[in-house]
């Protein structure tokens, strides 16, 4: 099929050149009588510019036509070679596009597969957490601490087994284990649950005015009141210290939640570094670090400091 079109291209170029040559010649033939008539036949009133335009158009068609007829073989070869190059380039672009599409689809499939794999692993971790903690897992945020700097700011899931505290990073699919026997001290502090906002009072003259004011005050209090919980858990173990922030349990609830660990702590008299003034000083240092990191504000720091110094 390609050879047929290649053979037909040369006659087509020759015919095109012949048509241009014939048309140009015709216009040139017409232009000469018009020019002569415009000079010698006064009654015709033919403007000279029409004959000039006809001659110019004749040359514009005749010269390319003559060139195409003379070089029909070379022109047809160039046209065919150019068409082949364009076809090859188009085929290459199509192949490249197809390859890019395949790569994109492969990446998308890999990403989808990785997401499914990660979701499956997260589900297994969640099932393990639920099994060992009977659904009593707790979300916490790591506030830092010596030996745990790499986890600072991360949200983890805290769960308790029979003799091990687990911290699970669902994003990284990693678990960190702290055996109860390795914990040397456990402290709970923080302002706990605080309610801010609200305080609007109803008012107005008469029963209707009072009811309207009370209703408005109720709506305002609902919109402006917000409750926050900040409980800090400090875990000391094997020359490491870890600070965790809980936004779901107040200190008393956290104390009950961590009671399995408290029962495994060494006796107080075997921890002289945690008794007396040294313990208070350390607690004040810890509270100051929490204030500087923004976990607690100035008012909360002052309140906690007052409790320690009582």
CA dist 244 and 238 (Å) reads 17
pLDDT reading at 197 higher than 60:
no
pLDDT reading at 206 higher than 70:
no
The pLDDT assigned to 175 comes to: 92
DSSP 220-272: HHHHH-EEEEEEEEEEEETTEEEEEEESS--HHHHHHHTHHHHTTSPPGGG-G
Q: What does the angle CA 159 – CA 189 – CA 227 come to, to the nearest 5 degrees? A: 85
The pLDDT assigned to 167 comes to: 94
User: Reduced to 3 states, what is the DSSP secondary structure of residue 184?
Assistant: strand
Q: Which residue has the higher pLDDT, 203 or 175?
A: 175
Average per-residue pLDDT for the chain? 76
Residues 38-84 have pLDDT tens digits of: 666 555 555 666 777 777 887 888 888 788 788 877 877 777 677 76
Q: Which residue has the higher pLDDT, 220 or 207?
A: 220
The pLDDT assigned to 204 comes to: 46
Contact 247, 226 (CB under 8 A): no
Q: Which residue has the higher pLDDT, 4 or 241?
A: 241
Dihedral of CA atoms 88, 92, 97, 101 in degrees, nearest 10, equals 130
The pLDDT assigned to 268 comes to: 60
- Cα–Cα nearest to 236, from 280, 271, 208: 271
The pLDDT assigned to 176 comes to: 93
Helices (H), the chain: 2-40, 48-70, 72-133, 206-224, 251-257, 259-262, 276-292, 298-309
Residues 127-156 have pLDDT tens digits of: 999 988 888 889 999 988 888 889 888 999
| Dihedral sign (CA 155, 297, 255, 226) | negative
Residues 214-250 have pLDDT tens digits of: 555 555 555 555 567 788 899 988 778 899 998 888 8
Residues 101-132 have pLDDT tens digits of: 778 788 877 877 778 888 888 899 899 999 88
CA dist 98 and 185 (Å) reads 63
pLDDT reading at 94 higher than 80:
no
CA dist 229 and 194 (Å) reads 6
The pLDDT assigned to 156 comes to: 94
Contact 177, 150 (CB under 8 A): no
pLDDT band at residue 158 using 50, 70 and 90 as cut-offs = very high
CA dist 140 and 96 (Å) reads 50
Q: Where are the domains of the chain?
A: 2-70, 136-195+226-309
pLDDT reading at 195 higher than 50:
yes
Q: What is the pTM of this model?
A: 0.50
Q: Does domain 136-195+226-309 have CATH number 3.40.30.10?
A: no
Contact 159, 132 (CB under 8 A): yes
Give Cα 132 distance to the centre of its chain: 34
Rg (alpha carbons) of the chain, rounded to whole number = 46
pLDDT reading at 169 higher than 90:
yes
Mean pLDDT of 83-99: 69
């Amino acid at each position: 099929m390609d050879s047929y079109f290649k053979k037909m291209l040369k006659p087509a170029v020759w015919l095109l050149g012949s048509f241009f040559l014939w048309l140009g010649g015709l216009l040139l033939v017409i232009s000469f009588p018009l020019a002569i008539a415009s000079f010698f036949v006064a009654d015709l009133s033919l403007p000279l510019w029409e004959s000039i335009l006809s001659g110019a158009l004749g040359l514009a068609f005749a010269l390319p036509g003559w060139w195409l007829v003379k070089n029909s073989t070379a022109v047809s070869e160039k046209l065919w070679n150019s068409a082949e190059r364009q076809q090859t380039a188009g085929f290459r672009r199509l192949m490249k596009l197809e390859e890019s599409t395949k790569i994109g689809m492969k990446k998308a499939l890999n990403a989808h597969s990785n997401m499914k794999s990660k979701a499956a692993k997260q589900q297994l971790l969640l099932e393990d957490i639920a099994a060992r903690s009977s659904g009593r897992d707790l979300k916490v945020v790591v506030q830092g601490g010596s030996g745990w700097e790499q986890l600072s700011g991360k949200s983890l899931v805290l769960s308790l087994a029979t003799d091990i505290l687990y911290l699970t990073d669902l994003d990284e699919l990693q678990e960190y284990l702290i055996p109860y026997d390795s914990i040397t001290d456990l402290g709970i502090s923080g302002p706990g649950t605080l309610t801010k906002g609200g305080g609007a009072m109803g008012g107005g003259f008469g029963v209707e005015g009072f009811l309207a004011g009370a209703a408005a005050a109720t709506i305002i209090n609902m919109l402006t009141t917000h409750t926050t919980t900040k409980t800090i858990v400090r875990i000391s173990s094997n020359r490491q210290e870890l600070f965790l922030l809980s936004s779901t349990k107040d200190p008393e609830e956290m104390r009950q939640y961590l009671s399995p660990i408290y029962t495994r702590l060494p006796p107080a008299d075997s921890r002289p570094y945690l008794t007396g003034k040294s313990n208070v000083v350390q607690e004040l240092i810890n509270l100051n670090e929490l204030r500087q990191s923004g976990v607690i504000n100035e008012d909360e720091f002052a309140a906690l400091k007052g409790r320690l110094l009582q």
